[in-house]
Amino acid sequence: MKFDLTPLLRPHIVDLLPYTSARDEYTGKEGIFLDANENPYGSVTDQDFNRYPDPYQLDLKAEIAKIKQVKPSQIFLGNGSDEAIDLLFRAFCNPGQDNVIILPPTYGMYEVSAGINDVETRRVPLTEDFQLQTDKILDAVDQHTKIIFVCSPNNPSGNKVNREDILRLIQEFHGLVVVDEAYIDFSDEPSFTNLLPEYGNLLVMQTFSKAWGLASLRLGMAFASKAMIKILNRIKPPYNISGLTQETVLAAIKNVDKVNAMIADMLQERDFLKEEMAKLDFVEKIHPSHANFLLVKMPNANHVYDDLIEEQIIVRNRSKVQLCEDCLRISVGTRAENVAFIDALKKIYAESFNL
Ligand SMILES: *Cc1c(COP(=O)(O)O)cnc(C)c1O
Q: How far is the CA of 83 from the centre of ligand 1 (A)?
A: 10
Q: DSSP readout, 146-197? A: EEEEEESSPTTT-PPPPHHHHHHHHHH-SSEEEEE-TTGGGSSSPPGGGGTT
Q: What is the pLDDT of residue 354?
A: 60
The CATH number for 257-352, chosen from 3.30.9.10, 3.40.50.10860, 3.40.50.300, 3.90.1150.10, is: 3.90.1150.10
Which CATH number is 6-254's, of 3.10.20.600, 3.20.20.60, 3.40.47.10, 3.40.640.10?
3.40.640.10
C-alpha–C-alpha distance, residues 128 and 108, integer Å: 19
What is the reported pLDDT for 272? 98
- Ligand 1 atom with the shortest distance to the CA of 107: 13
* Torsion over CA: 324, 116, 148, 249 (sign): negative
pLDDT of residue 24: 79
Q: What is the pTM of this model?
A: 0.96
Mean pLDDT by 10 residues, the chain (355 residues): 89 88 81 95 96 96 98 98 97 98 98 98 98 98 98 98 98 98 97 98 98 97 97 96 98 95 98 98 97 97 96 97 97 98 96 70
Burial class (CB in 10 A: 0-12, 13-18, 19+), 155: buried
Q: Whose CA is nearest to atom 1 of ligand 1?
A: 182
Cα 138 to middle of ligand 1, angstroms: 25
How many other C-beta atoms are found inside a 10 Å radius of the C-beta of residue 6? Answer: 10
Burial group, residue 125, by CB count within 10 angstroms (0-12, 13-18, 19+): middle
Q: Quick one: pLDDT at residue 246? A: 98
Q: Report phi then psi at 302, rounded to 5.
A: -60, -45
Does residue 171 contact residue 160 with C-beta atoms inside 8 Å?
no
Q: How far is the CA of 338 from the centre of ligand 1 (A)?
A: 23
- Ligand 1 atom nearest to 154, measured from its CA: 13
Using CA atoms, how far apart are residues 336 and 28, in angstroms rounded to an integer? 50
Contact (CB, 8 A) for 150 and 205 = no
Which residues does ligand 1 sit against, CB inside 6 Å?
80-82, 107, 151, 155, 180, 182, 207, 209-210, 215, 220
Q: What pairs with residue 151 in β-bridges?
A: 180
Atom of ligand 1 nearest to the CA of 151: 13
Cα–Cα distances (Å) from 243 to 58, 119, 174, 251, 331, in that order, read: 12, 33, 37, 12, 30
The span from the CA of 206 to the CA of 233, in Å, is: 17
**CB-CB contact of 252 with 318 (8 Å):** no
- Sequence spans of domains, the chain: 6-254, 257-352
Nearest to 119 by CA among 101, 142, 143: 101
